[in-house]
């Protein structure tokens, strides 16, 4: 099991268009449950109005669900050796 929280804040740049003049913020939490290689994840948070990667421009809360799969590259079998 893994749990994480994060928060971000930013100042919108001043532009000729003057689209927004407010600072932005985003806060969220994520929980992952892992079962051998497969797992599930749930993420929820809240954000201010404005751009944040992967989320809508509107202010509000959001929730996301996902399935995870772990790939262990170090556990690959060794290549067969050539006969001498």
CA distance 77 to 80: 9
* pLDDT tens string 24-60: 889 999 999 999 889 999 999 999 887 677 776 788 8
Nearest CA to 32 among 71, 74, 65, 76?
A: 65
Residues 59, 60, 65, 69: is their CA dihedral positive or negative?
positive
User: Which pTM was predicted?
Assistant: 0.65
């Amino acid at each position: 099991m893994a749990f994480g929280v994060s928060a971000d804040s930013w100042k919108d740049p001043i532009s000729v268009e003057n689209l927004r003049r407010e600072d932005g913020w985003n806060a969220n939490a994520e929980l992952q449950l892992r079962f051998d290689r497969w797992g599930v994840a749930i993420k929820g948070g809240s954000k201010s109005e404005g751009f944040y990667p992967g989320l809508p421009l509107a202010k509000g809360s959001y929730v996301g669900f996902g399935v995870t799969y772990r790939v262990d590259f170090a556990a690959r079998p060794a290549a067969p050796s050539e006969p001498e």
